[in-house]
């Protein structure tokens, strides 16, 4: 989710994963990733959409978001995001999320962000999700700026009742 031009999809394709979807609001970012993958881009479903307005047409095993949820500064945006997540992720599926940590930058790409620690990020997903793992990563941007991230891995209850 919000994969943009990131190389995660390249790694997953090269490791043999074959049911991959990359969604991003930016068509140019996805075009960049597709061009980089060349004919391997056909192994991926590419969706240009605003995540807060997206209605998934199928269920997924894993939801991965690095540095998108943090842009949702308004409660209704976060509600819409969580609605999409809950529609898209099958019961028993995994949600992997990362945002800037509390000591991370206050802005990303010039836009304000909400920063979370792992407990706060995990709490956003609600009681239906069980926190499996958290970790902190200090990402170095190509420009040499340190960006501390809080990561969470959560499992959605396999039981619809939670």
Ligand X SMILES: C[S@@+](CC[C@H](N)C(=O)[O-])C[C@H]1O[C@@H](n2cnc3c(N)ncnc32)[C@H](O)[C@@H]1O
CB 139 within 8 A of CB 147: yes
Q: How far is the CB of 75 from ligand X (least distance, A)?
A: 15
Question: Toward ligand X, which CB reaches closer, 66 or 115?
Answer: 66
Q: How far is the CB of 102 from ligand X (least distance, A)?
A: 18
Q: How far is the CB of 50 from ligand X (least distance, A)?
A: 4
Question: Toward ligand X, which CB reaches closer, 35 or 130?
Answer: 35
Question: Toward ligand X, which CB reaches closer, 49 or 157?
Answer: 49
Q: How far is the CB of 41 from ligand X (least distance, A)?
A: 17
Question: Toward ligand X, which CB reaches closer, 5 or 157?
Answer: 5
**Residue 152 in tokens:** 């969470």
Q: How far is the CB of 27 from ligand X (least distance, A)?
A: 9
The conformation of residue 143, written as its DSSP 8-state character, comes to T
Shortest-Cβ-distance residue relative to ligand X: 4
Q: Which of 126, 115, 122 is nearest to 152 (CA)?
A: 122
Q: Rounded distance, CA 105 to CA 25, Å?
A: 22
Question: Given CA atoms 120, 58, 91, 8 in this order, what sign does their dihedral have?
Answer: negative
Non-local CB neighbours of 8 within 8 Å, separated by 6+ positions: 64, 66
Question: Toward ligand X, which CB reaches closer, 29 or 157?
Answer: 29
CB 45 within 8 A of CB 71: no
Q: Which residues bind ligand X (CB under 6 A)?
A: 2-4, 6, 24-26, 29, 50-52, 66-68, 71, 108-109
In the chain, what is the greatest distance between 2 CA atoms, to the nearest angstrom?
46
């Amino acid at each position: 989710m919000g994969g943009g031009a990131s190389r995660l999809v390249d790694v997953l394709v090269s490791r043999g994963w074959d049911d991959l979807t990359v969604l991003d609001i930016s068509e140019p970012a996805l075009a960049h990733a597709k061009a980089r993958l060349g004919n391997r881009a056909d192994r991926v479903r590419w969706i240009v959409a605003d995540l807060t307005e997206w209605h998934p047409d199928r269920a997924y095993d894993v939801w991965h978001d690095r540095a998108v949820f943090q842009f949702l500064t308004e409660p209704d945006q976060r509600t819409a995001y969580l609605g999409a997540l809950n529609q898209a992720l099958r019961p028993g599926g995994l949600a992997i999320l990362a945002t800037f940590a509390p000591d991370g930058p206050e802005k990303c790409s010039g836009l304000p962000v909400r920063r979370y620690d792992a407990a706060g990020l995990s709490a956003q997903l609600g009681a239906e999700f069980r926190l499996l793992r958290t970790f902190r990563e200090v990402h170095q941007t190509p420009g040499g700026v340190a960006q501390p991230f809080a990561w969470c891995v959560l499992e959605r209850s396999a039981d619809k009742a939670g």
